[in-house]
Amino acid sequence: MIWLPRFRTAMIPAGILLLYLTAALTTLLAWQNAGFTLTGDEPHYLVIARGILVDHTLEQTVPYREAFEQGLFFGGTIAEAPTPANTHAYLGPHGLFNIHSFGLPLLIAVPYALQGVLGVKVFLVLVGGAALLLFWKISGVFMASTTVRAVSVAAVGLGMPLLPGANQIFPDIPAGVLCLVGLYWLLTATRSRPVWREALMGVAVGYLPLLQIKFALPALILAAALAVAIVRREHVTRGSGRSRRWGRAAVIVMPVALLLGLLFAVNLYAFSNLTGPYEPGAFDVGPAALMAFAGLAIDQNQGIVFQSPIAFAGLVGVGLLVAARRRFALVWALVLLALIVPNALLANEYGGYSLNGRFQYAGALVFGIATLFALGLLAERRRVVWMIVCAIGVALSAAFWAVLTFSPTFLEFGGRLLYRQDPLPWLLNYSVFFFPLQNALPALYDESWASAFLPNYVWAAVVLMLLLTGFAAGRGRLGRLARPAVWMPVAAGLSAAVLLAGLTADSPAPTRHYRASELVVLQGEAEPGGVSASAATGQTAGPFTEGPITLMRAGSYTLTLTYTSTAPTSVVVGSWQPVPAHATAPPEEALTGTAGAEVTVSRVVELENIVPATLQLRTNWNGTGQLTVQGATYAVNADG
């Protein structure tokens, strides 16, 4: 019965994995039933995968044409021929090639063949589950207690980014998993492993650039670190000669070099450029990049520490990890920066139309190592505090997951709320999970005012204090700082600063102007500056315009409509009313003729919905005279 203890130990990560799969697949099912569609780059990765599977090519003309003609992935058929203008492809000397790399499509081709898009999403959920198993293996290096390992891994892994990010067809979660594989191998490099397993490790690390060229840097860092670690191991444990030591290191390095060479060859053929389709201007070194870098750490929607608040413990863990495992911590930090910095520099801030935080997903998984290390030490020294920290982390992650999975309002409108919105929302309508505390939390999504928003600086100070605390503790220099008489006033001061910043912070809320072309035009003829309905041009009485499609939450708003009509002022030509999604619409108000003059009418609307929902402005034409809608405005009232 020697296998029994191992079986019992294996049941713990299996149980955590089962919890994750239940939660992740429940969310996926809820989103499928709510009609969530493929967004952003997802359809284009599927086009590549289908092209590999069905057409056996990376050239995209035929795969896109088939997807357009058969109504695959894009919500309907498209009559136009594939061009760079209506695809994510680049027309080079050898045809049309996708700007997205082929690594992810290769991974999802078989799941797509088996079960279509749903099969791909389930497969990627399983890939996310591998991160939990790696967290379990890594925790075993740091922690002796099985109970501490189980609770800590659950606190770190059962939340964002895996829930819900793992069901998205993007390369970020798989890249994070591969980085965890490399870092776990580095942590345990002193263990002697068969050559074939180390060759597989080289393939895993080398696959990173195939997912996206920006992952080449962490791949090179990991390959170099693993090679050095293997050379050191062979020298210390076996006293091997130089040729054997470097021969074993080559087992890691050669697959990385070969796969990177393959990627360069494909890019050179497709784009006449080793690095692929990136052009001048793709990267932006300036204030926007600095904002994005900070935002990927602390923004209330995009940041690692607010998407998974247990990561605040990881800030302390950074210094502790450096003190305990300096060489490993250096590589870990370089990999983390290599994952975050290029994303911050991309002009496509925060990944464009994809889930909030996607650009930090791979980094968040890597950062989980520091969080696990901090939780392990905390459990040794302050078991009650460790239990409280883990309980808070699990509770918040569970609450976030419940909103994402079960909130009817979220399921109705979350397809917009969870993504970077255009135009950028007012801060009142920005925060996904933290309303009504949004004014007290970091907001790094609008370059025009982020640098003047006081809470950004206060929370940066909180992050810096936690980092310094970890380094001081790691060097054994907390001393007097660990005394309640010292740290409690510091904590109270930071808390007061957060509160004061939240009470005094002022984020601009400029009036939103929507041209008629930005509304939903149900009928009518476009005119300079508006859209017009009249019997003379063939319209019939009834709904005229709706929209704009924008999300609003609890607050007071003023809506205006600007219109003209050639009818006399004594004639009623139509009506208008605000239409909130989850509240009783106020009664319609008449629109009278204006004798050709431009007239603006306004209404105040009070909303009480916590989760943002649509607030549209609807107009009707009654068939009399002529009506031209020129535009609308939305404004937040001062008391809203």
d(CA 376, CA 371): 9
pLDDT digits (tens, 9 = 90+) for 448-472: 899 999 999 999 999 999 999 999 8
> Is residue 461 exposed (0-12), middle (13-18) or buried (19+ Cβ within 10 Å)?
middle
Three-state SS at 325: coil
For domain 512-636, give the CATH superfamily. Answer: Galactose-binding domain-like (2.60.120.260)
Task: Pick 547 or 223 by higher pLDDT.
Answer: 223
Q: Going along 565-625, which residue ranges are E strands?
A: 572-580, 589-592, 599-607, 613-621
pLDDT value, residue 242: 67
pLDDT at 18 over 70: yes
| Mean local confidence (pLDDT), 168-189 | 96
pLDDT value, residue 111: 97
d(CA 316, CA 338): 21
Smallest CA-to-CA distance from 124 within 84, 91, 162 is with 162
pLDDT digits (tens, 9 = 90+) for 181-206: 999 999 998 888 888 898 999 999 99
pLDDT value, residue 154: 97
Torsional sign, CA 161, 162, 164, 168: positive
Helix (H) or strand (E) segment spanning residue 558:
strand 555-564
pLDDT digits (tens, 9 = 90+) for 582-591: 778 889 999 9
- How confident is residue 326, by pLDDT bands cut at 50, 70 and 90? very high
| Inter-residue contact 134 to 141 (CB < 8 Å) | no
pLDDT at 435 over 70: yes
pLDDT value, residue 237: 56
| End-to-end Cα spacing for the chain | 68
Domain ranges for the chain? 436-504, 512-636
pLDDT value, residue 477: 62
pLDDT at 1 over 70: no
- Of 232-236, 451-455, 545-549, where does the model show the most confidence? 451-455
Chain position carrying tokens 């907390």: 478
Task: Pick 168 or 2 by higher pLDDT.
Answer: 168
pLDDT at 548 over 80: yes
d(CA 335, CA 320): 18
d(CA 598, CA 530): 11
pLDDT value, residue 296: 96
pLDDT at 351 over 90: no
Q: What residues pair up with 521 in beta bridges, in sequence order?
A: 545
d(CA 511, CA 445): 18
pLDDT digits (tens, 9 = 90+) for 474-519: 777 655 555 565 566 767 777 788 888 777 888 888 899 999 888 8
pLDDT at 528 over 80: no
pLDDT value, residue 639: 66
pLDDT at 609 over 90: no
pLDDT at 527 over 90: no
Record the pTM: 0.92
